[in-house]
Chain A
């Protein structure tokens, strides 16, 4: 009796949300809260269902075929290798990506503006040419080791390249831009007042970084890291060159080596479990605490100018990062392209080239816009409904990225085959026809399934930093959900939106397995062209189109950085367009 009497008094010191919970039984409060705005919850669920469909199709098909689970004997070793690789690359990309983002945000040094956008470019290098380019350059028989031995002496010991550490290094230097981009957006969104307040209160640079900047940037760092982890998890093309047997290599072997699609799909489920672990880890990394900023989007920190040796060190850091993941492969490819041009100058430019380029760009832009819009709606839905439903749905959509590309492609095929027989079953003559592989529709759908994750990660990371009170105030002032999306969430998550667009665009331009599998007759992209040549080892012929893929990614990255003012918030982005005081 006495306890019951004290309960209300205790509740007065709790938050308003907890108070609401105390008044209502939890199930009711949950039901109510997600039906606050049922439209948005339903929308999120619908998107999730669409994205999960192909993945489910693969799982069902795999289980149907055998009815039992057969796992390969080397599974434990594969899982361990996968974990080691992921761990190594996680540390590497955090240090390199996060460090560089901090460097270019808070300091000024020569060429900084150039570096700040060029550091994204390693993402443009397609994985299916990276392994060969690296090994043909750095392996024992390659020019680098040959030159070293010639100059230093034959007895020179050099570390073996084709090893797990080698794979960690290469993946780190090509995947760090995910973390870099997210971290950069986060640092730019940070309002300087928090950092300045910490400094004024006597915290040193390091302490301010640790206790103010990093906690605020944590959702973004975690989001970038999650993307890197999923890339590592699904990569087959690169790790295979380094003799690193991850679970994805197991999937490939089971399917293409043993003609055992069932075993392959079961292994894909295992890959998916790893992804679930990654995403759970990401949520934990983001922390239970919510760090949000008050009011408007921050103006960014005031950078400090570096001089002398410090400036030189900064330049060298950027150069090394850019050099390994981008400049070196580009130089190597350019060498091959020039060799090919000398040998057969007439055949250099294929007449179909412009068509392939147009296809690549068209699909990439359409998909990037589509993913950004859907991801924005998902993020918005999560903030409109207070229940967990939209969040869970949104999280599920990111699984498309955690399944090897070829498996997503097969899933799309199977899902549509199922749809076709369903439509026939209902009595429609001819079913759905060749919906997937007869048009570009299948490719677009598969891309959306696969690339929604990077888009959502980027946008959600930005949205989490918008404090809930901002959304609630807008609501209480009478703005409808759509108006809030357009006038509040979109502008506040702007840098996230741009990051999402760039990520998906670059990923989509170089994407291979989905197009290869789902394209209709007569439809080809640059990536397919490069792969056709590279898979048969015509590297010198593949070099030029590969460079064009990279170039095609450079332009949008540059333009969007200018537009989004990711280059330098303290300067007007283009002539004649001044900004208010910073």
Chain B
């Protein structure tokens, strides 16, 4: 017993010492970076920030977290918050951040020309930086793409010919919620409800991960699925012979449903100038390194997407209304719940 207690005490002391070291290391051993970012994106932003640092000499540090968590943290920290920039992945989240009052407007000619009007806040509180499309993928042997409805492909999937052949994401996922919110905004609630009901009547198989959806189509257990385009690009990069093809939805109608990643300058920052510089760089010179790692589409028309994504061909996007995404999200959830979409 004595030995055990001794061991425990030694362990504890060692840990406490190390803990104090960690505590120091995290806050005291060097100056905080010039720009501190709260980001719901990670992996790919790391390369972009490194490139920014090299070009400008400004040090960027980022803290990854979930959108809603980071927003709540910003609110709770208030004036004390170390964050200079808030970066997130869903138009609805950007809207929510602006509503919560944690972002400040940025007046920048450079940003205004680089980011098209449709992809930034009307009051310039946030700017879109990368685009993603949610569209149809299919198994080429089991599906003739001519069978898709080209006017409203999403609604077309409610047709009985897709009975037992569909796979989609669950309703906890923001992708599903934004898609339905966008459909409500574009086609009205009633028509959207019919679409979702139609998918359910077709015994849609609901999965909880876009990669699982792609694997199901590849394996032939699903014929058609709705996924974000970059997941396919990423899978193709590793497995070029995957039996999954992409189809741009609703090209004779309202276009493919899109969502955007973006960022804004935090209202309580003490470094507006550098924060703005980072946003400007990400929207112009930094676009390539920012979107490239994740196979997204640039917001800046002067920048080209990477080769795999370019191979998917050109398409017409559905316009993004962030306020609608934000406000309609709750409505979308209610609709999904009402018709019994899990």
**Closest-CB distance, B198 to chain A (whole angstroms):** 19
What are 26 A-B contacts with C-beta separation under 8 Å?
A: A135-B212, A141-B222, A240-B170, A240-B172, A240-B208, A252-B172, A255-B68, A259-B330, A261-B72, A358-B22, A362-B19, A410-B72, A410-B76, A417-B76, A417-B77, A439-B26, A439-B27, A440-B19, A491-B1, A516-B65, A516-B66, A517-B73, A519-B63, A528-B64, A536-B42, A536-B43
Q: A420 touching B80 by the CB < 8 A rule?
A: yes
CB of B105 closer than 8 Å to a CB of A: no
Q: How many residues belonging to A are interface residues under a CB distance threshold of 8 Å?
A: 73
**Residues of B contacting A245 with CB < 8 Å?**
342
Q: Nearest A residue to B97 by beta-carbon distance?
A: A259
Whether B61 and A249, one on each chain, are in contact in the complex, defined by CB atoms closer than 8 angstroms, is no
Q: Whole-angstrom distance between the alpha carbons of A365 and B238 in the complex? A: 39
B174-203 residues at the A interface, CB under 8 angstroms: 174, 177
Name the residue of chain B whose CB is nearest to the CB of A365.
B15
Question: Is A537 interfacial (CB 8 A cutoff)?
Answer: yes
Binary contact track A189-216/B, C-beta < 8 Å → 1, others 0: 0000000000000000000000000000
Q: Which chain A residues in 528-550 approach chain B with CB under 8 Å?
A: 528, 532-533, 536-539
Q: A257-B177, A521-B33 are in contact. List 8 more A-B contacts (CB 8 A).
A: A256-B67, A257-B171, A259-B326, A439-B23, A439-B26, A516-B64, A521-B36, A523-B26
Q: Would you give the 0/1 interface string for A461-494, flagging 1 where the beta carbon is closer than 8 Å to chain B? A: 0000000000000000000000000000001001
Q: In the complex, how many angstroms separate the beta carbon of B258 from the nearest chain A beta carbon?
A: 19
B47-80: which have CB < 8 Å to A?
61, 63-69, 72-73, 76-78, 80
Q: B11: CB under 8 A from chain A? A: yes
Whole-angstrom distance between the alpha carbons of A516 and B68 in the complex?
12
* Stretch of A105-113, A224-232, A430-438 that contacts chain B: A430-438
A564 in the interface (beta carbon within 8 A)? yes
Q: Are B27 and A438 in contact (CB under 8 A)?
A: yes
Q: In the complex the two chains form, is A369's CB within 8 Å of B174's CB? A: no
How does the 8 Å CB contact mask read for A140-170 relative to B, with 1 for contact and 0 for none? 1110001000000000000000100000000
* A462, chain B: closest CB distance, angstroms: 14
> Cβ of A359 and Cβ of B36 under 8 Å apart?
no
Interface residues of B in 245-265 (CB under 8 A from A): none
- A-binding residues in B (CB < 8 A): 1, 3-4, 7-8, 11-12, 14-16, 18-19, 22-23, 25-27, 32-33, 36, 42-43, 61, 63-69, 72-73, 76-78, 80-82, 92, 96, 99, 170-172, 174, 177, 206-212, 215-216, 218-219, 221-222, 231, 234, 238, 294, 326, 329-330, 333-334, 337-338, 342
Main SS of the interface on chain B?
Answer: helix
Please tell me if the beta carbons of B238 and A343 are within 8 angstroms of each other in the complex: yes
| Distance, CA A221 to CA B43, complexed state (A) | 43
Question: What is the CA–CA distance of A256 and B209 in the complex, to the nearest angstrom?
Answer: 17
Q: Known contacts being A259-B96, A517-B73, A533-B43, is A523 close to B22, with CB within 8 Å?
A: yes
Contacts of A366 in B (CB 8 A): 12, 15-16, 19
Structural contact, B212 and A433, CB atoms closer than 8 A = no
